[in-house]
Amino acid sequence: MIPELGHFALIIALGLALVQAVIPLWGSFNGRRPWMEMARPLAAGQLTFLVLAFACLLQAFLTDDFSVLYVAEQSNTLLPPIYKVSALWGGHEGSLLLWVLMLGIWGAAVAAFSRNLPLPMISRVISVQGMVAIGFLLFTLLTSNPFERIFPVPQEGRDLNPLLQDPGLAIHPPMLYMGYVGFSVAFAFAIAALLGGKLDAAWARWSRPWTTVAWIFLTIGISLGSWWAYYELGWGGWWFWDPVENASFMPWLAGTALIHSLAVTEKRGAFKSWTVLLAISAFSLSLLGTFLVRSGVLTSVHAFATDPSRGTFILAFLVIVIGGSLSLYAWRAPSVSGGGRFDLVSRESFLLVNNLLLAALALLVLFGTLAPLIYEAAGWGKISVGFPWFNTMFVAISPFLVLAMGLGPSTRWKHDEPARLARLLWIPFALSLGVLALCSTGLIFPGNLSVGLGLGLSTWLVLTQLVALRERLKNKGGLKALVGDLRNRSRSFYGMWLAHIGVAVFIVGATLVSSYGSETDLRMSPGAVHEVAGYRFQFNGAQPHDGPNYRAQRGEFVIYKGERQITVLHPEKRSYLSGGMPMTEAGIDPGFLRDLYVSLGEPVGDKGDWAVRIYYKPYVRWIWLAGILMALGGLLAVSDGRYRTARKSVQVPAGGGLARA
């Protein structure tokens, strides 16, 4: 009964979406206020029914209702309850429901937090969101219904893929989807602006917080994915340039360009058509990612069960949405763009360079991901474009971006003197060159060119940000101003600052762990000790140890540095009761400056020996720390006071308190 209720709720949501897509939009063109005013209640209604549908599916999972096909595929009676919840989005159908739910949440949020926006604009925005919802709901109902039943009812479900039975991976899709779907708001704002023919600073100011919040979620989602891959997959890596990883990275790159472009449009009225194009692109890349992951066009460990017929549907949807919005852009953008003059040396220039480089990087990733397909289509043979190509390209191009990131914050808007910039920044430049030179050679420590480049670039970034901070505080009265600024909510500068520092932290972490990390495979007997990077690893054998839905062999490693015992690690080799290959759970000692990572391979011989793998990973946590810093920076920026202007109307107390002054 309940699954049918959920199914019915989806159908109602589709009906509401149909109305939502048409009526408020039409009302905005013919000025019918009652039609436009339907937008907000419709969005709220849609959310209600989507929540209902989600709740019905959740109930099916929590009660082990295996008569629902999707539950039988993803769940199992022995699955711990928390993973029964996350199993809901473990497969294609459920993850679509999550997507659509997020769409409802964002739509309702826009409806709720937009009281100070003009009604025609908000009704267009909500209508566009309704259009996107129609596509996804149709797709779900027609090809990927999570509420489908199965007869005869299986006694036991097939179980959630053991890889997904993990807290990091449980939260990763919701974060990612909040990001992907959040860009639909920026997209809707852009379309609304194109439709209305007006694009001004006020529009940019309204769009900015929404876009930034979506960007924050996407940043967190990607960082989580990388972190999970590192500790779960057992090969010590944190980014493989797998097509599905790229599918999440492209919208992030476009989204980063977008938040910078919005800043310029808000402050200076420039980059208008750029901003609109980026808003369309960021969401389009999210949709493209959805396609790539579910259509079977590319090989990836990460892809859902692939089905070309589903792929056709999504692709048709893409052509309608993206083709339609880009046509609208081609038609209307010329009339909304223009404005905001600036000189060659100005902050706008550097931000334009930033825009172009980020867009270039996004296109680069797209090109590399699709290149095998292009080659095959052209008949040039079957090639594989993997991490070596991506790494080379990225390392070759991103230094220019980092260079611009250092110059931009210290440059004045509209016009600046090269001499002034040189005066401000020559010390950071010289010091960075020095670091690059020193670390590329073996003078201070065994370095190489990649280390030199990485550390040189991060030095540049940190020092230039410090210079920008100093200049700002100097003009405002010193360190006191910092506290004052933060309290008064003049925070967007500090948000930028923190996020840029985050990038520097990332560069340091990625560079150092690539150059100085080590990996050792060996066979160890119980009691054996092996030394890696100054740490002694003592293996004490493995004992059987069972979990709620698996049997495991649990190894014990005691780690010493010098005479001191640092920690005891317990890597496991698990066999899940629902079948399948054994899974490895690594034992990790996390640290700010290094990770020590041990995993069990196979038992060897019959005396309790095991083949084990020991990793030493210096500074690897800095990579995800960077993600956190960037997200915090975004949070600071969003909490800036300017987004709270003029919401309350002036209350004049009885008796006219003001008149007394």
Partner 1 sequence: MTPTPFFRVLAAAALLAWGCARAFTLEEFQFQSPAQEHEFRELIGKLRCLVCQNESLAASQADLAQDLREEVYHMMQDGKSQDEIIEFLVARYGDFVLYQPPVKPSTYILWFGPFVLIGIGGFFLLRALQRKGREPEADLSATDRDRIEQLLTQPGTRPGDTQDRTS
Partner 2 sequence: MARSKSSYLLPLGIFLALAALLFYGLTIDPKKVPSPLIGKPAPSFELESLLEPGKTISSDILKGQISLVNVWASWCPSCRQEHAELVRIARESDVQMIGFNWKDERPAALEMLRRYGNPYTLSVFDPENRVGIDWGVYGAPETFVVDAEGIIRHKQIGPIDQRVWDE
CA quadruple 313, 319, 324, 325: dihedral sign: positive
Please report how close the Cβ of residue 414 comes to partner 2 at its closest, in angstroms: 15
Residue 661 binding: pick among partner 2, partner 1, none (C-beta 5-8 Å cut-off by kind):
none
Longest dimension (CA), the chain: 94
Residue 293 binding: pick among partner 1, partner 2, none (C-beta 5-8 Å cut-off by kind):
none
- For 640, the 3-state DSSP assignment is coil
In this complex, which beta carbon is closest to partner 2, that of residue 323 or of residue 534? 323
Strand segments, DSSP code E, in 118-269 are: none
Among positions 97, 125, 370, 463, the unique one binding partner 2 when judged by CB under 8 A: 370
Please report how close the Cβ of residue 136 comes to partner 2 at its closest, in angstroms: 18
> 572-576 and 583-585: which strand pairing?
antiparallel
d(CA 534, CA 523): 19
Among positions 29, 291, 389, 516, the unique one binding partner 2 when judged by CB under 8 A: 291
In this complex, which beta carbon is closest to partner 1, that of residue 106 or of residue 228? 228
In this complex, which beta carbon is closest to partner 2, that of residue 376 or of residue 417? 376
Q: Is 311 in the site for partner 2 (CB under 8 A)?
A: yes
**Binding-residue pattern over the window 330 to 359 for partner 2, x denoting contact by CB under 8 A:** x--xx--xx-------------x-------
Bond into 152 cis (ω within 30): yes
Residue 580 binding: pick among partner 2, partner 1, none (C-beta 5-8 Å cut-off by kind):
partner 1
Q: Is 308 in the site for partner 2 (CB under 8 A)?
A: yes
Structure token pair of residue 52: 């209902």
In this complex, which beta carbon is closest to partner 1, that of residue 548 or of residue 580? 580
What type of residue sits at position 24? P
Among positions 212, 281, 410, 432, the unique one binding partner 2 when judged by CB under 8 A: 281
C-alpha closest to that of 264 among 327, 347, 332, 353: 347
In this complex, which beta carbon is closest to partner 2, that of residue 373 or of residue 422? 373
In this complex, which beta carbon is closest to partner 2, that of residue 296 or of residue 603? 296
> 572-576 and 564-569: which strand pairing?
unpaired
**Residue 37 buriedness (CB in 10 A; 0-12 / 13-18 / 19+):** middle
Strand segments, DSSP code E, in 504-626 are: 518-524, 529-532, 535-547, 550-561, 564-569, 572-576, 583-585, 587-589, 594-604, 609-618
Cα pseudo-dihedral 117, 119, 125, 130, rounded to 10: 140
CB-CB contact of 273 with 337 (8 Å)? yes
In this complex, which beta carbon is closest to partner 2, that of residue 131 or of residue 631? 131
322: DSSP letter: I
What type of residue sits at position 617? K
d(CA 367, CA 261): 23
Please report how close the Cβ of residue 178 comes to partner 1 at its closest, in angstroms: 26
Residue 471 binding: pick among partner 1, partner 2, none (C-beta 5-8 Å cut-off by kind):
none
In this complex, which beta carbon is closest to partner 2, that of residue 15 or of residue 311? 311
Residue 329 binding: pick among partner 2, partner 1, none (C-beta 5-8 Å cut-off by kind):
partner 2
HSE-up of 470 (CA within 13 Å, CB side)? 8
Residue 421 binding: pick among partner 2, partner 1, none (C-beta 5-8 Å cut-off by kind):
none
User: Who contacts 420 (Cβ-Cβ below 8 Å, separation ≥6)?
Assistant: none
In this complex, which beta carbon is closest to partner 2, that of residue 270 or of residue 435? 270
Among positions 77, 312, 441, 525, the unique one binding partner 2 when judged by CB under 8 A: 312
Residue 277 binding: pick among partner 1, partner 2, none (C-beta 5-8 Å cut-off by kind):
partner 2
Please report how close the Cβ of residue 329 comes to partner 2 at its closest, in angstroms: 7
Give Cα separations from 112 to 47, 125, 320, 544 (angstroms).
Answer: 12, 13, 28, 54
Please report how close the Cβ of residue 92 comes to partner 2 at its closest, in angstroms: 16
HSE-up of 409 (CA within 13 Å, CB side)? 28
Residue 642 binding: pick among partner 1, partner 2, none (C-beta 5-8 Å cut-off by kind):
partner 1
Which residues in this chain contact partner 2 in the complex, by CB under 8 A? 271, 273-274, 277, 280-281, 284, 291, 295-299, 308, 311-312, 315, 318-319, 322-323, 326-327, 329-330, 333-334, 337-338, 352, 370, 372-374, 376-377, 381-382
